[in-house]
């Protein structure tokens, strides 16, 4: 029992920079997605998950990655690319990467969801990764630069505390709102119009990563030279954060409607 508890102990001590969108962000994405599932997809999700929900399973890939048997999943949460690529160059780089990353693992897990040779347990695990990775794909710094580990090496001070740019985008901006994940999902999902849902769902996964790469360039440019994030940062970037979470939830639903519905 003691050996089993050790990874959880270190998990509690681990920096939030390892959790894309944090717990509340991922769960808000899952809740928004549930709001946009069609009837068939909703029924299949319930069959796979039982009493669990997309919101609750959304953090599972982050929770397990600290156990030795799941350490190989660590690179599945992001895609790093060189600086200064245009869209054509970026998409070529994205598709040519052979090491496991958020993009190619997402493709693999989607196939597992519909593979009749896979067991129920394998399909449940695949669904959990799909839900999580779609959220990760929309966090700008999960498509950031390799040389600074997606902003983890950019040290900043936010609200009087030392952190880094990646952690700021994972959790700092979300926590600033003081909302639960269900409150955030309700607030974010309410204004989304049906026409906007269709437009967002029409975009390909490759486009999601390109959008995040472009957004990450804005985030990098906005990093203050002295590392001090002041009170102007949240209002200047809150709309980008909000839209990326909205898009992640809506697109996750579109993906599941297509694959499961």
Query: Which DSSP category does 145 fall into?
Result: B
First CA to last CA across the chain, in angstroms? 41
CA distance 37 to 1: 40
Residues contacting residue 109 through CB under 8 Å, at least 6 positions apart: 126, 127, 129, 130, 133
Write down the residue that tokens 């597992």 correspond to: 112
Is the CATH number of domain 2-12+22-74+102-260 1.10.8.60?
no
pLDDT above 90 coverage of the chain, percent? 90
pLDDT in tens, 29-72: 999 999 999 999 999 999 999 999 999 999 999 999 989 999 99
pLDDT band at 17 (very low <50, low <70, confident <90, very high): very low
Residue 16 has pLDDT above 90, yes or no: no
Q: Is the dihedral of CA 24, 26, 31, 32 positive or negative?
A: positive
């Amino acid at each position: 029992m003691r050996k089993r508890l050790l990874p959880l102990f270190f998990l509690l001590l681990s920096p939030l920079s390892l959790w894309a969108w944090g717990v509340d962000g991922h769960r808000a994405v899952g809740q928004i997605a549930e709001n946009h599932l069609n009837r068939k997809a909703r029924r299949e999700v319930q069959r796979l998950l039982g009493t669990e929900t997309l919101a609750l399973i959304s953090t599972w890939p982050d929770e397990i990655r600290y156990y030795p048997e799941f350490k190989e999943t660590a690179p599945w949460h992001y895609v790093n690319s060189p600086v200064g690529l245009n869209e054509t160059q970026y998409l070529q780089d994205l598709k040519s990467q052979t090491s496991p990353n958020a993009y190619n693992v997402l493709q693999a897990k989607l196939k597992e969801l519909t593979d009749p040779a896979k067991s129920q347990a394998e399909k449940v695990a695949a669904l959990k990764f799909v839900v999580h990775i779609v959220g990760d794909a929309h966090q700008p710094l999960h498509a950031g630069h390799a040389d600074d580990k997606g902003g983890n090496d950019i040290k900043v001070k936010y609200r009087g505390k030392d952190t880094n740019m990646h952690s700021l985008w994972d959790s700092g901006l979300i926590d600033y709102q003081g909302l639960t994940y269900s409150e955030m999902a309700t607030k974010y999902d309410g204004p989304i119009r049906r026409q906007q849902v269709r437009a967002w769902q029409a975009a390909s996964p490759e486009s999601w990563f390109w959008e995040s790469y472009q957004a990450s360039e804005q985030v990098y440019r906005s990093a203050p030279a002295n590392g001090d994030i002041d009170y102007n940062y949240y209002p200047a970037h809150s709309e980008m954060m909000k839209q990326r979470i909205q898009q992640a939830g809506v697109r996750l639903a579109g993906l599941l409607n297509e694959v499961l519905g």
